[in-house]
Amino acid sequence: MTPAGSHVTASRVVDADGIPMSARLAEVRRPRAVVVALHGGAVTSAYFDAPGRPRHSLLRTGAALGFTVIALDRPGYGSSAAHADQMASAGRRVDLAYAAVDRLLAGRPRGAGVFLAAHSLGCVLAVRMAADERGTGLLGLEIAGIGRQYQPRFAAALRTRVLRSGMLDAPARDGPVTAVREMIWGPDRLYPAGAGDGMHSPSPPFEGEEIGRWPREAPALAARVRIPVRYCLGDHETVWRSGPAALAEIAALFAAAPRVVAEEQPGSGHNLSLGLAAQAYHLKVLSFAEECALAQENQSGACAHRDPSPRG
């Protein structure tokens, strides 16, 4: 699916304010826009480039459609894992993410601009980035696999400490973790065999506390987002409350956004980018990114052609 003029680099490492930040990059020569993807907890950026399954890869699908896609190892993962003690501040993690994207794109075309797409715990960082003053320069925001209220079964497991910190997206399958995986991922029939293999990673120590604060902090953060937002849950979401009411609740938080779209993805569990419906989901993400790019171009064109002279 990858067109001529694009390539996939398995890993790149850049210096972001003294911290090595790693990423996977699918680059095209003249991109429509740049999609920056932020993975969830307990996995790496490989989540967006499913090993051995190019049809399930956001990087490869995006490149095939003319987007440069960067799957960033979030602060505390990949090359930056050894420096997690320097990332206790949420603001520091936002700065590192912005710095890493700027270094990765230095000297590279951005097309219409940068679009953020995030999954699960990665959505916390993405919303913080969008809520930051620099966020108004982004094209748009996709968040998936997150909410404000847990599913009852998942909440009960948290209360009894069945789930350890940082296991929300863990791909482990063996032993007693199998039941945890089913509780998080959803039905096995929604995933190909071996989904998640080769992408597990320890979670940084600050992650458990961050997801604990998210339900309380989400409203204030979302209220500061002023770019288009798309929110998605799998129709078999097992971690967060789903359904029309839950989708509407999250959408309503983004009151300052010029456009908000909220919908369920059919045939998907919590890990939308690893399931059998991954390509269908990614095509919707990229379609929204295209709409955001078009809106940006239309707005820029309108400003360029506006008559600046005073009217009598």
pTM of structure: 0.91
Is 312 a member of any domain? Answer: no
Give the amino acid at 63.
A
Tell me the per-residue pLDDT of 278-308, one tens digit each, with 9 for 90 and over. 999 999 999 999 999 999 999 877 655 444 4
Is 108 a member of any domain? Answer: yes
pLDDT at 169: 54
Q: How confident is the model at residue 8 (pLDDT cuts 50, 70, 90)?
A: low
Tally the domains of the chain: 1
Is 113 a member of any domain? Answer: yes
pLDDT at 172: 44
Average pLDDT in the chain: 89
pLDDT at 304: 54
Pairing of strands 68-72, 114-119: unpaired
Here the CATH number for the domain that contains residue 288 is 3.40.50.1820
Contact status, residue 231 vs residue 251, Cβ threshold 8 Å: yes
Is 306 a member of any domain? Answer: no
Mean pLDDT, residues 243-264 taken together:
97
Tell me the per-residue pLDDT of 123-182, one tens digit each, with 9 for 90 and over. 999 999 999 999 999 999 999 999 999 999 888 877 775 444 444 455 444 443 456 688
Looking from the CA of 178 toward its CB, the CA atoms found within 13 Å total 4
> How many CB atoms are located within 10 Å of the residue 263 CB?
14
Mean pLDDT, residues 20-32 taken together:
96
- Which residue(s) pair with 310 in the sheet? none
Predicted confidence (pLDDT) at residue 312 exceeds the cutoff of 50: no
pLDDT at 23: 98
Tell me the per-residue pLDDT of 35-69, one tens digit each, with 9 for 90 and over. 999 999 999 999 999 888 999 999 999 999 999 99
Is 1 a member of any domain? Answer: no
Mean pLDDT, residues 188-193 taken together:
96
103/254 Cα distance (integer angstroms): 29
What is the extent of the structural domain holding 296?
7-301
Is 161 a member of any domain? Answer: yes
| Percentage of the chain exceeding pLDDT 90 | 79
HEC profile of the chain: CCCCCCEEEEEEEEEECCEEEEEEEEECCCCCCEEEEECCCCECHHHHCCCCCHHHCHHHHHHHCCCEEEEECCCCCHHHHHHHHHCCCHHHHHHHHHHHHHHHCCCCCCCCCEEEEEECCHHHHHHHHHHCHHHHHCCEEEEECCCCCECHHHHHHHHCCCCCCCCCCCCCCCCCHHHHHHHHHCCHHHCCCCCCCCCECCCCCCHHHHHHHHHHHHHHHHCCCCCCEEEEEECCCCCECCCHHHHHHHHHHCCCCCCEEEEEECCCCCCHHHCCCHHHHHHHHHHHHHHHHHHHHHHHHHHHHCCCCCCC
Q: Which of 34-64 are b and which e, b meaning 16 or more Cβ less than 10 Å from the residue's Cβ? A: bbbbbbbbbbbbbbbbbeebbebbbbbbbbb
Is 311 a member of any domain? Answer: no
